């Protein structure tokens, strides 16, 4: 989400660089930048203690070698992180690159590549430099800083010029600290990216919500990540963040940020309840002194004033509460109505309505045309229900698969939009990775990582190629598909019903690692609907409506097309469904497998490994 211009124009930036010396660590303070000329990102820290290198030297060649390697490695890694060294003494170069956890592979690659160039421009010929940008962080040096994952030297700190009102400042500081701490804990326990985003309601009137982000390098331990994030917040928050609308700390090893606006991509990964409600306003002061003797009806008048002083505020509060409930109900009804089309079904989002984070995925149409040789027939990998899939090679040499929507297919357009929203939010090694999207002119294109071994059905149902899949490889594929399904059903932030799981939608990489594809026919369930859902429905006819009853094994079709067994996968039992995907003509003989030809085939595989795990899953 774009940062509001008013916030950009009201930011004071100061930075701290902890530079190593022979005796101690030196704290270097940079002057405040005036708010009218606030320094924009990226922010650089140049190491002046390691000396310089010369143009076209061995050290510069090593930096350029790392630029290529880390750009590719960080963008292709599930953690969006890479580190390494290049060259030999005395010109060894060390570097680290980390992309923000809510970005995607293509924007990560662009940021890391650009950061290497920018760092060498802003810190010309310096042997050490650190560059902080919103999508990524980069550091390189001529000494091995990679081995110490707790070394977070070189901090940049920024805070908002805007203050919350003095009346709510203490409560706001407490709420933001609570949110930052919770988000930091979420990030520290994230096993892949060490990344977290959070949201907390605060004051509906002026500051409806507080948002936060925290991240560590994925090579840090849980304890070290917690200590790093907690340390920088405790150190700087009391001095610089008190009563401020927002603040951030950039560090090579850990970074954090909080704001009163939604500044990260996608939905928050963590939502915590707001602070306890403020006490109701005190009733107006009432004179409780008894009337003096001889005043006649004075006591009655005072009692009347007392009743009115109590009753009127209560009546006003009740009326305001009723009005607020009515307004919320009306807005909810209006939003629900607006989200439905004339047929009464929820509308598919238009490209403009797709999640704001999708902007970072955008590819240029000319680039994809060049990559696929203008969608040449020789580059065609296959044909799906919504259009063709082409192999492409991007300008930097990366191989991709490009899904091209059939121009006249409105049904395909709906499927594409659904797939776009879902896949962009899902990250798992057994799910196909979305690299980018193109929505230019009349083209609707999805760009995926390329799978050299194509789809499972091209091997499974070919008498010669199927020999490549021994029983143990099949078991690994079953396990991988099961892990992907379990992630969709239980572990992701969304509840997903795939509804089109079949061998042609299971892709295989060069190591036969399975990756589930085609989420265009998936149904999305929010987390708060998980109670009572109970099942993840899988079937081969995605356009039929209504529940899918359990069917006996004999209903599975033996014709070798995608196993048609329509069953319900209960939570924690994904292996049965994954096995259905890998099955072939023996599917209808499931109850005879332990004594039939499949067991004999496994027993005579000749590798000496126990076959019990195979039979349990088959």
Residues 550 and 517: beta-carbon distance below 8 Å:
no
Q: Is 557 helix (H, G, I), strand (E, B) or coil?
A: coil
| CA pair distance 248, 242, nearest whole angstrom | 12
Residues 45 and 156: beta-carbon distance below 8 Å:
yes
DSSP letter for 346, please.
Answer: B
Closest-CA residue to 613 (of 573, 568, 575) = 575
Residues 184 and 216: beta-carbon distance below 8 Å:
no
CB within 8 A of 378, min separation 6: which ones? none
Residues 599 and 616: beta-carbon distance below 8 Å:
no
Residues 479 and 430: beta-carbon distance below 8 Å:
no
| CA pair distance 207, 176, nearest whole angstrom | 12
DSSP letter for 572, please.
Answer: T
**Cα-Cα-Cα-Cα dihedral sign, residues 540, 544, 547, 552:** negative
DSSP letters for 190-251? -TTT-EEEEEEEEETTTEEEEEEEEEE-TTS-HHHHHHHHHHHHHHHIIIIITTBS-EEEE-
Annotated catalytic residue 185: no
DSSP letter for 360, please.
Answer: G
CB within 8 A of 433, min separation 6: which ones? 105, 427, 448, 449, 515
Residues 124 and 55: beta-carbon distance below 8 Å:
no
Catalytic pick among 500, 528, 550, 559: 500
Q: Is 506 helix (H, G, I), strand (E, B) or coil?
A: strand
> φ and ψ at 390, to 5 degrees?
-120, 145
Q: Is 114 helix (H, G, I), strand (E, B) or coil?
A: helix
CB within 8 A of 344, min separation 6: which ones? none
- Rounded to 10 degrees, the C-alpha dihedral 524/527/529/534 comes to 80
Cα 142 to chain centroid distance, Å, stands at 33
Tell whether residue 56 is among the known ligand binding residues: no
Closest-CA residue to 460 (of 500, 508, 499) = 508
| CA pair distance 480, 292, nearest whole angstrom | 88
For residue 552 the two structure tokens come to: 């006996």
| CA pair distance 147, 189, nearest whole angstrom | 21
| CA pair distance 206, 171, nearest whole angstrom | 13
| CA pair distance 152, 524, nearest whole angstrom | 40
Q: Is 392 helix (H, G, I), strand (E, B) or coil?
A: strand
For residue 330 the two structure tokens come to: 């009306």
For residue 24 the two structure tokens come to: 């101690």
**Binding-site residues from annotation:** 403
Q: Which residues are catalytic?
A: 500
**Binding-site residues from annotation for ATP:** 403
């Amino acid at each position: 989400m774009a940062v509001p211009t008013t916030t950009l124009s009201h930011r004071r930036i100061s930075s701290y660089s902890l530079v190593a010396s022979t005796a101690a660590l030196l704290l270097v303070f940079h002057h405040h930048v005036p708010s009218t000329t606030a320094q924009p990102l990226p922010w650089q820290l140049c190491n002046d203690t390691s000396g310089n290198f010369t143009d076209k030297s061995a050290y510069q060649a090593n930096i350029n070698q790392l630029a290529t390697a880390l750009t590719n490695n960080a963008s292709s890694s599930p953690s969006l992180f890479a580190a390494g060294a290049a060259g030999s003494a005395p010109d060894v170069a060390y570097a680290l690159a980390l992309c923000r956890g809510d970005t995607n592979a293509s924007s990560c690659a662009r940021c890391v590549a650009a950061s290497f160039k920018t760092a060498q421009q802003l810190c010309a010929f310096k042997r050490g430099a650190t560059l902080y940008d919103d999508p990524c962080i980069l550091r390189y040096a001529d000494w091995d800083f990679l081995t110490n994952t707790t070394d977070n030297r070189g901090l940049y700190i920024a805070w908002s010029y805007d203050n919350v009102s003095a009346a709510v400042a203490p409560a706001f500081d407490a709420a933001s600290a609570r949110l930052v701490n919770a988000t930091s804990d979420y990030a520290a326990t994230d096993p892949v990216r060490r990344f977290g985003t959070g949201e907390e309601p605060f004051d509906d009137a002026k500051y409806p919500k507080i948002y936060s982000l925290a991240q560590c390098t994925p090579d840090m331990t849980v304890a070290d990540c917690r200590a790093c994030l907690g340390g920088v917040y405790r150190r700087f928050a009391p001095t610089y963040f008190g009563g401020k609308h927002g603040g951030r700390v950039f560090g090579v090893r850990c970074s954090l940020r909080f704001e009163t606006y939604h500044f990260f991509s996608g939905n928050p990964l963590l939502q915590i309840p707001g602070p306890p409600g403020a006490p109701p306003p005190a009733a107006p002061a009432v004179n409780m002194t008894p009337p003096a003797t001889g005043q006649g009806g004075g006591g009655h008048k005072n009692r009347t004033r007392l009743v009115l002083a109590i009753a009127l505020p209560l009546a006003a509060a009740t009326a305001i509460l009723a009005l607020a409930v009515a307004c919320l109900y009306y807005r909810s009804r209006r939003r629900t109505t607006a989200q439905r089309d004339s047929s009464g079904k929820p509308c598919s989002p238009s490209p403009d309505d797709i999640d704001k984070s999708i902007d970072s995925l955008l590819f240029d149409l000319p680039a994809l045309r060049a990559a696929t040789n203008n969608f040449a027939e020789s580059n065609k990998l296959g044909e799906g229900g919504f259009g063709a899939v082409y192999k492409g090679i991007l300008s930097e040499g990366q191989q991709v698969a490009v899904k091209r929507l059939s121009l006249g297919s409105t049904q395909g357009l709906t499927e594409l939009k659904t797939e776009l929203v879902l896949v962009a939010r899902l990250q798992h090694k057994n799910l196909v990775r979305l690299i980018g999207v193109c929505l230019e002119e009349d083209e609707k294109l999805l760009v995926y990582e390329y799978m050299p071994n194509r789809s499972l059905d091209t091997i499974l149902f070919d008498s010669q190629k199927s020999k490549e899949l021994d029983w143990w490889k099949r078991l690994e594929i079953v396990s991988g598909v099961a892990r992907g399904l379990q992630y969709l059903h239980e572990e992701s932030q969304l509840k997903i019903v795939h509804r089109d799981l079949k061998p042609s939608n299971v892709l295989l990489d060069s190591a036969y690692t399975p990756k589930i594809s085609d989420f265009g026919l998936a149904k999305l369930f929010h987390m708060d609907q998980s109670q009572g859902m109970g099942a993840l429905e899988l079937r081969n006819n995605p356009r039929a409506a209504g529940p899918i009853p359990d069917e006996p094994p004999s209903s599975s079709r033996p014709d070798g097309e995608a196993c048609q067994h329509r069953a319900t996968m209960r939570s924690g039992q994904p292996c049965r469904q994954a096995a259905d995907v890998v099955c072939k003509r023996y599917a209808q003989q499931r109850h005879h497998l332990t004594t039939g030809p499949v067991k004999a085939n496994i027993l005579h595989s000749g590798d000496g490994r126990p076959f019990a795990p195979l039979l349990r899953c088959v």
